[in-house]
């Protein structure tokens, strides 16, 4: 996965390249606002789209409002068992190329904004690096709660936070209920305590 956020049009072109080669697996997306989505592919066919707890057509509609994102593809040859609710033809058409016209103007604006902000020097990140064992322990617990997208969410969290407990608290915000968040935090803290 690229470490840079790119205009949505570029990310969707990469998705289309995966469709063209009839790839099977999961396309993980993360936006600058840290919203996440998953597009499930089987033999180059879009089987399911989720974005911000929305599914299929609503997810595509939500995705269309995003300006920049990161993409990571995880190949997976597990056979598809069909989808409960197929995407309507308009959503499928937009996702597989209809986005080009709509997003072309937007990506030029985004590129201009990115170029302007690139001119302003950013302060260097703190020198403190989190121990790989700590990262791995947190990521392993996160996988149990968040599934395959946990790796990407952990990477994002560690890029902006250097205290493992802050990372755990941030990851807990992705869970569906306060109870599940509490269990995740407890499990992550236990895993960290075992490293001491």
Q: What is the pLDDT of residues 29-65, one digit of tens each?
A: 998 888 889 999 999 899 999 998 888 888 898 888 8
Q: Is 112 found in the same domain as 78?
A: yes
Number of domains composing the chain: 2
The model's pLDDT over 134-145, given as tens digits with 9 standing for 90+, comes to 999 999 999 898
Q: Is 95 found in the same domain as 14?
A: yes
Q: Is 86 found in the same domain as 36?
A: yes
Domain hosting 89: range is: 6-119
Q: Is 107 found in the same domain as 142?
A: no
Kindly give, in sequence order, each residue whose CB lies less than 8 Å from that of residue 26, ignoring residues fewer than 6 positions away: 38, 39, 40, 41, 73, 74, 76, 148
Last residue of a domain, one of 92, 119, 146: 119
Residue 44 belongs to some domain of the structure: yes
Q: Is 44 helix (H, G, I), strand (E, B) or coil?
A: coil
Q: What region does 34 belong to: left with phi over 0, alpha with psi -120 to 50, or beta?
A: left
Q: Is 52 found in the same domain as 94?
A: yes
pLDDT at residue 2, rounded to an integer: 57
């Amino acid at each position: 996965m690229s470490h840079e956020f790119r205009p949505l049009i570029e990310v969707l072109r990469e998705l289309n390249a995966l469709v063209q080669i009839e790839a099977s697996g999961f396309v993980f997306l993360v936006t600058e606002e840290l919203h996440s989505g998953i597009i499930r592919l089987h033999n180059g066919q879009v089987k399911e789209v989720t974005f911000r707890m929305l599914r299929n057509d609503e997810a595509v509609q939500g995705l269309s409002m995003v300006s920049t994102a990161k993409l990571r593809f995880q190949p997976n040859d597990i056979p598809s068992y069909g989808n409960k609710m197929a995407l309507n033809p308009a959503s499928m058409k937009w996702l597989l190329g209809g986005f080009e016209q709509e997003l072309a103007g937007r990506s030029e604006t985004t590129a201009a904004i990115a170029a302007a902000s690139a001119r302003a020097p950013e302060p260097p990140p703190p020198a403190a690096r989190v121990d790989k064992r700590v990262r791995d322990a947190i990521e392993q617990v996160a996988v149990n709660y968040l599934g395959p997208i946990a790796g990407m969410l952990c990477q994002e969290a560690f890029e902006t936070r250097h205290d493992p407990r802050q990372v755990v608290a941030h990851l807990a915000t992705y869970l569906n209920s306060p109870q599940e968040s509490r269990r995740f935090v407890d499990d992550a803290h236990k895993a960290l305590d075992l490293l001491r």
